[in-house]
Amino acid sequence: MQAFRVHSGVVLPMDRANVDTDAIIPKQYLKSVRRTGFGPYAFDDWRYLDAGDLDTPVDSRRPNPDFELNDARYAGASILLARRNFGCGSSREHAVWALADQGFRCVIAPSFADIFFNNCFKNGVLPIVLEEETIDELFAFAAGGAELTVDLEQQQIHVGERQIDFRVDPARRERLLAGLDDIGQTLQLRAQIQDFEARRRREKPWLFGARA
């Protein structure tokens, strides 16, 4: 996983609440059995005027000029700014894959849905929760195209001369800073898992053995 330490980039302001994962990556793209290549389909229904699927050549699509992502002032944006309850709905990790593949390294919002929030940390994307008032200020700042710097080591956002503090759970921060693979780390506890499992099998044997 790509580590996240300090990142500077253009902010894309997306002034909408309850952006759900169906909107971030519509169902027709979930048929892919790969982990990459979802970037061009991020926000597909809002981003293009015509319908598409995995077979449609992306260069044949008609971009929606009214959608923020197609606004030249935000070209190359890597920090997404949104309203409350971002990433609600389906658990599809494809939503984070699509954002990451589109180039987003960080999402800032007043609140996130739990599963999406969790999925971000597995993919080197940093979700930052800030107060609604601070979010309002950032929307004012980002309008028209602006860059900011997110420093996960210091847990600070640098907006021009101003610093905004944020908090990330220490365990998640450590893993993101180091770009650590959870599975490898958990398997270091193999013996403990085996002991726990052996005891469980003794005490509740009916939880073991499939009959399908």
Partner 1 sequence: MARTLYQKIWDDHLVQTLDDGTGLLYIDRHLVHEVTSPQAFEGLRLAGRPVWRADANLAVPDHNVPTTDRAAGIADPISRTQVDTLDRNAREFALPYFPMADQRQGIVHVIGPEQGATLPGMTVVCGDSHTSTHGAFGALAFGIGTSEVEHVLATQCLLQQPAKTMRIWVEGALDAGLTAKDLALAIIGEIGTAGGTGYVIEFAGPAVQALSMEGRMTLCNMTIEAGARAGMVAVDDTTIDYVRGRPFAPTDAHWEAAKAWWRTLHSDEGASFDREVRLDAAQIRPQVTWGTSPEMVAAVDAAVPDPAQAGDPVKAQGMRRALEYMGLAAGQAISDIAVDKVFIGSCTNSRIEDLREAAAVVRGRHVAASVKLAMVVPGSGLVKAQAEAEGLDAIFRAAGFEWREPGCSMCLAMNADRLEPGERCASTSNRNFEGRQGQGGRTHLLSPAMAAAAGITGHLVDFRTLPSVA
Footprint of partner 1 (CB under 8 A): 15-18, 20, 22-23, 26-28, 30-35, 45, 51, 53-55, 83-85, 88-94, 96, 111-115, 118-119, 122-123, 169-171, 174, 182-183, 186-187, 189, 192-193, 196-197, 200, 204-212
Q: Which is nearer to partner 1, 9 or 13 (CB)?
A: 13
Q: Which is nearer to partner 1, 6 or 49 (CB)?
A: 49
Residue 148 CB, nearest distance to partner 1 (Å)? 22
Residue 5 CB, nearest distance to partner 1 (Å)? 19
Sheet of strand 6-14: strand arrangement? 126-129, 106-109, 79-82, 6-14, 147-151, 156-159, 162-165
Specify whether the CB–CB gap between 38 and 32 falls below 8 A: yes
Residue 57 CB, nearest distance to partner 1 (Å)? 15
What's the DSSP call for residue 86? Answer: B
What's the DSSP call for residue 80? Answer: E
What's the DSSP call for residue 41? Answer: G
List strand residue ranges (DSSP E) for the chain, in order.
6-14, 79-82, 106-109, 126-129, 147-151, 156-159, 162-165
Q: Which is nearer to partner 1, 163 or 192 (CB)?
A: 192
- C-alpha 23 chain-centroid distance: 13
Residue 167 CB, nearest distance to partner 1 (Å)? 14
Q: Which is nearer to partner 1, 78 or 90 (CB)?
A: 90
Residue 161 CB, nearest distance to partner 1 (Å)? 28
Q: Which is nearer to partner 1, 45 or 71 (CB)?
A: 45
Residue type for 92, please? R
* Rounded Cα distance, 94 and 119, in Å: 9
Task: Supply 138's token pair.
Answer: 């950032």
Residue type for 38, please? F
Residue 73 CB, nearest distance to partner 1 (Å)? 21
* Rounded Cα distance, 150 and 153, in Å: 9
Q: Which is nearer to partner 1, 162 or 199 (CB)?
A: 199
